[in-house]
Amino acid sequence: MATQIVMDRTGDSKHFFDRTDLVGLAKAERRFGKLTGQGFTAATRTPSGDLNLVRTFDPTADETLFYPRLVGG
């Protein structure tokens, strides 16, 4: 089971999907496109636990983290 974690000002939400389920996989890919289109940064975890920025949907990633861009001022 793969996970997409979305962090925003209200906290975080987790979305789980089965990579073998084509409908769930398509929904996860649409969520990726929607969030990155809204300005969220996407990152996957490496085996060592570090984050690796990604620009395209990776259906093989166990965990993808989405976090909003920081706004300075």
Q: What is the pLDDT of residue 9?
A: 86
Convert 38-57 to b/e letters by CB count within 10 Å (16 or more is b): eebbbbbbeeeeeeeebeeb
Is the pLDDT reported for residue 73 higher than 70? no
Residue type, 21: D
Could you read off the pLDDT of 41-59 as tens digits, one per residue?
Answer: 999 988 888 999 999 999 9
Average pLDDT over the chain, rounded to whole? 93
DSSP 15-48: EEE-TT-HHHHHHHHHHHHHHHHTT-EEEEE-TT
Mean pLDDT of 27-37: 97
pLDDT tier, 24 (very low <50, low <70, confident <90, very high otherwise)? very high
Give the separation between CA 26 and CA 13, rounded to whole angstroms: 19
pLDDT tier, 72 (very low <50, low <70, confident <90, very high otherwise)? low
Structural domains of the chain sorted by starting position, each given as residue range(s) with its CATH number in brackets:
2-67 (3.10.20)
Tokens standing for residue 71: 């706004």
